[in-house]
Structure 1
Amino acid sequence: MPSRPAAGGDRVAGDRRVPVPRAYRFELVKLVSQWRIRLLVLACWIAPALFVAAVSRQSSLPSDTLFGRWMHATGWAGPLVVLGFAGTWALPLLTSVVAGDVFASEDRLGTWRHLLVAVRSPRRIFAAKALASVTVILLLVAGLACSGAIGGLAAVGNQPLVGLDGHLLTPGDAEVRVLLAWVCVLAPTLALAAIGLLGSVVLGRSPMGLLLPALVALVMQLAQMLPLPVAVRLALPGYALIAWNGLFTGPVQLGPLLIGIAVSLVWAVTATGLAYLLFVRRDFTNPTDEGSGRRAITTGLLPLVGLVAVTVGVVAATTTATGSGIEQQKVQRSVATAFAHLYRLQTEQLNRPAVTEAQLKATAACTKGDVSDGAKGPGNDWHCVVTWHLPGVDVTGTAIYQLDLTSDGRFVADGDGPKEVNGYFLVRTPTGDAPNPLWQFDGNVELLSTSPKG
């Protein structure tokens, strides 16, 4: 009588196991043959280009989106707008559809025993399915990045990009940083994919497994909107989906970005390891066995909760993260730096005598509500007065800004006069009206202190 597949066993007596590359190709063909996967591939490689090209030619721009206000000026703003949307919505949904269903689909179809007879190793089945799902996810992310860049460059052109501190990035520098930004979000994407694998293994045919990566991403996004301590914020894998902003400042804000990537990779390894342990211990001889609820909690949920506590402790102990990370001096420095860079850009637009940031000596005095000394924390009640000096001019220039500063350190500065500086969204140039770079601008406050702990 032929032997039956052992529960979680690695081989069946007398049978030769199928190698992982062959099983991987089989699983990859299974994935790409599904109509919904083909539709996603088509959408990711075409839709961003059409969206960016269409928006770049409209009179109104998504100015509430990071880099959206620059989509008329450079083609490199388009892929960054797509990246912001992808980090919030597209990437969690893509990982849910691909990784969140890769194991559950076998439960719904009842094909585990057939697959186990063909491959003869639960370990190789897991490796093949995990690698195939990651391959498809990388293909989808590559499509989003390439399509957004192609659409922007075709519609607007290869022009310089204004960074988050107001300095102008050359087209070559912008290209490199856009590419790096997309590469950096691969780490949190892999973390969400690993959570999808875990949910697919633990919850079986339940639709909750399919929704788990999207739900986890939503929870992390809500957490980033709360006034949490910066150590907690950096210790969540979702922070890496927004930490790429630091690539577009000068100097580059690498600290939060590297921490976010490291945390995301730890989550990816941990969740994948948990999914693997649960999968190989499953009783495949019982077609109704999809794992017990107790094992799902003890082996699936509790380790991830413990991982959050550990990463928070490590980040708090090894970095200069304190409080919200948003302090008055940091805000003033960021606003003054961005204003000085953008003032030079406005000077070039108006064909005025060239001036450098060192000559301007721009400074900012910021208050939050009624707090004029020691203000800190996010809010839309920040008020800043910027002062600067022009060479050969005795009068000191002043400009007023209202700031909306979010918990992740991003702010939008809204000009409040004088009119000839920042009070109107257009400036009259020798070639016609052009967007006023000082009217509204985006900025980024680095949450980590620049001084060491001590």
Structure 2
Amino acid sequence: MTPTVAAAPTATAGAGTPGRRAVPVARILRMELVKQFSAWRVRLLLLLCWLGPGLLVFGIDQQSTLPSDTLFGRWMHATGWAGSLVVLGVAGTWALPLVTSMVAGDVFASEDRLGTWRHLLITVRSYRRIFAAKAIAGLTVIGLLVTGLALSGIVGGLLAEGSQPLVGLDGHLLTGADAAGDVLLAWLCVLAPTLALAGLGLLGSIALGRSPMGLLMPMLAALGMQLAQLLPLPVAVRLALPGYAFVSWNGLFADPQQRGELLIGVGVSLAWAVLATVLAYLLFLRRDFTNLNNDGAGRRALTLGVLPLAGLLAATISVVAVVTDGGDSGITQDKVQRSMATAFTHLYRYQQAQMRQPPVTEAELQTSASCDKSEGLGSQQGPGNDWRCTVSYNVPGYNATAQAIYQLDVSATGRYIADGDGPVQLNGYFLIVSGGQAVPNPLWQFDGNVDLLPG
């Protein structure tokens, strides 16, 4: 069999025996799924993804200390939906890249290690059907693993704390039903960057053959994108990276929702997923399986792999820069001040309700914030842990103005942690007394999010 004959689209005949029908894709897919679920690593991943997050969330919830440095971690004692979001944050950083590496990064390379390509091609007699069956089988397993991560985290959190209201990133309260919808939507959105990593896994599995670098391709790509997100990159470059949707789901938990970054991140991720899969398909069609010493694409990996993806990155950067006018970091003094004033207003009202105080409206508080970076020296924009904000508000019932001080650590992605620095009676204590019980003080420390796109 030659690559030219094997790659030819044959509906009723293949190379060798005229008139012999090619094996249907459904039969090949069934065989590939059996091979996937027979592997011990896939069974282990299924067990970990369907049980691990729920047990972890339930166990953490029983502890007195919480992962307060993790987004929504400090709210795990308040609502079960926070636990699922903690799982989502960790999954986007480690679990989902690992899942795509173990499945998509090995779906083709396993045939090279076992030396079964010739037998498979003689049996099936169609490159296209083999590629389709393997790709669909890999995506099916990845879908089951992601579903397990989502459902396990949700069930574990709800069993621990129930469907209580969730505090959003701007301090407003989401009802249990609203939180459920946003949590499910967030998990649905991270499927896009997961598919992008899966496409890179397919490409690496075909291009590099039995080399372990093919297996590590999604993990290395995810690690590189995470490191890039820590750098002070322009907004256009940041949004053009296919893994940004692992971060931009945060905007769903603001009011109004910050959907611009998320939609761009999802669109870019899907473009990478499609292109990487098409490139993997083209490399597979041109693969020489008659040479047993050749288990990769060789020079074609550069011309049909790296260069088109680099071109896509350059094109998306250009398009996003024109559409969003994102030539800087997107973190400005005015945005930080507006975000702090909004979050403080919502959280102050929440704190007063916890302490059984009379309700107060936003109009009565008239909250404003004055923030500066590096004590007002240098440029007043960009990420850093040297932001300081003074929040001014009217004290209800006293016709007087009070102030609260916060130290801010603003990340390059727009997420910040505001740490209370006085007055003591407002934000100086981690716990406050509510109904005779000690509960977390929402104004002691809280998370916020700055929309990187222009208003």
Do these two structures clear the TM 0.5 threshold for a shared fold by scoring above it?
A: yes
Q: Match for residue 349 of structure 1?
A: 354
Which one of 58, 64, 78 corresponds to residue 69 of structure 2?
A: 64
Report 1:279-290 matches (<5 A): 279-290=284-295
Q: Match for residue 420 of structure 2?
A: 415
State the 1:321 CA deviation.
Answer: 1.8
Structure 1: distance between partners of 2:54 and 2:325: 41
Say whether residues 1:256 and 2:261 are aligned partners.
Answer: yes
Say whether residues 1:108 and 2:107 are aligned partners.
Answer: no
Q: Is the 8 A contact 1:253 1:446 kept in 2?
A: yes
Q: Letter of the aligned partner of 1:319 in structure 2?
A: T
Structure 1: distance between partners of 2:378 and 2:370: 10
Q: Match for residue 98 of structure 2?
A: 93
Q: Match for residue 29 of structure 1?
A: 34
Structure 1: distance between partners of 2:377 and 2:365: 24
Q: Is the 8 A contact 1:367 1:384 kept in 2?
A: yes
Q: Match for residue 394 of structure 2?
A: 389
Q: Letter of the aligned partner of 1:114 in structure 2?
A: H
CA deviations on 1:261-316 (whole Å, 9 max, x unpaired) are: 00000000000000000001112222222234321111111111111110000000
TM-score by length of 1: 0.97
Structure 1: distance between partners of 2:37 and 2:366: 58
Which one of 178, 184, 206 corresponds to residue 173 of structure 1?
A: 178
Q: Letter of the aligned partner of 1:224 in structure 2?
A: Q
Which one of 406, 425, 430 corresponds to residue 430 of structure 2?
A: 425
Structure 2: distance between partners of 1:158 and 1:113: 55
State the 1:150 CA deviation.
Answer: 0.5
Q: Is the 8 A contact 1:7 1:281 kept in 2?
A: no
Q: Secondary structure at the match of 1:195?
A: helix
Say whether residues 1:359 and 2:364 are aligned partners.
Answer: yes
Say whether residues 1:380 and 2:385 are aligned partners.
Answer: yes
CA deviations on 1:398-454 (whole Å, 9 max, x unpaired) are: 10000000000000000000011001111123322221000000000000011xxxx
Structure 1: distance between partners of 2:408 and 2:304: 45
Q: Is the 8 A contact 1:106 1:112 kept in 2?
A: yes
Q: Match for residue 78 of structure 1?
A: 83
Report 1:149-168 matches (<5 A): 149-168=154-173
Runs of 4+ aligned structure 1 residues displaced above 3 Å come to: 3-11
Q: Match for residue 142 of structure 2?
A: 137
Q: Letter of the aligned partner of 2:283 in structure 1?
A: L
Give the superposed CA RMSD.
1.3
CA deviations on 1:335-389 (whole Å, 9 max, x unpaired) are: 1111000001110111111001222111110000132796100000000000111
CA deviations on 1:216-268 (whole Å, 9 max, x unpaired) are: 00000000000000100000011110100000000000000000000000000
Q: Secondary structure at the match of 1:365?
A: strand
State the 1:392 CA deviation.
Answer: 3.6
Say whether residues 1:212 and 2:217 are aligned partners.
Answer: yes
State the 1:36 CA deviation.
Answer: 0.8
Structure 2: distance between partners of 1:7 and 1:115: 12
Structure 2: distance between partners of 1:430 and 1:392: 22
Report 1:234-383 matches (<5 A): 234-371=239-376, 375-383=380-388
Q: Is the 8 A contact 1:100 1:196 kept in 2?
A: yes
CA deviations on 1:176-225 (whole Å, 9 max, x unpaired) are: 00000000000000000000000000000000000000000000000000
Report 1:428-447 matches (<5 A): 428-447=433-452
Q: Secondary structure at the match of 1:204?
A: coil
Q: Match for residue 7 of structure 2?
A: 8
Q: Secondary structure at the match of 2:403?
A: strand
Q: Is the 8 A contact 2:337 2:370 kept in 1?
A: yes
Q: Secondary structure at the match of 1:438?
A: coil
Say whether residues 1:146 and 2:145 are aligned partners.
Answer: no
Relative to structure 1, the CA distance from residue 419 to residue 171 in structure 2 (aligned partners, 3 Å threshold; closer, same or farther) is same
Q: Match for residue 203 of structure 1?
A: 208
More divergent stretch after superposition (174-183 vs 430-439): 430-439
Q: Secondary structure at the match of 1:355?
A: coil
Q: Is the 8 A contact 1:44 1:141 kept in 2?
A: yes
For structure 2, the 5+ residue unaligned runs are none
Q: Secondary structure at the match of 2:409?
A: strand
Relative to structure 1, the CA distance from residue 373 to residue 336 in structure 2 (aligned partners, 3 Å threshold; closer, same or farther) is farther
Relative to structure 1, the CA distance from residue 25 to residue 176 in structure 2 (aligned partners, 3 Å threshold; closer, same or farther) is same
State the 1:318 CA deviation.
Answer: 1.2
Structure 1: distance between partners of 2:397 and 2:425: 20
Q: Is the 8 A contact 2:373 2:379 kept in 1?
A: no
TM-score by length of 2: 0.96
Q: Match for residue 49 of structure 1?
A: 54
State the 1:158 CA deviation.
Answer: 1.1
Q: Letter of the aligned partner of 1:124 in structure 2?
A: R
Structure 1: distance between partners of 2:2 and 2:337: 70
For structure 1, the 5+ residue unaligned runs are none
Structure 2: distance between partners of 1:265 and 1:382: 36
More divergent stretch after superposition (22-31 vs 206-215): 22-31
CA deviations on 1:143-194 (whole Å, 9 max, x unpaired) are: 0000000000001111110000000000000000000000000000000000
Q: Letter of the aligned partner of 1:239 in structure 2?
A: Y
Size of the aligned set, in residue pairs, is 448
Structure 1: distance between partners of 2:437 and 2:85: 28
- State the identity as a percent: 66
State the 1:120 CA deviation.
Answer: 1.2
Structure 2: distance between partners of 1:78 and 1:291: 43
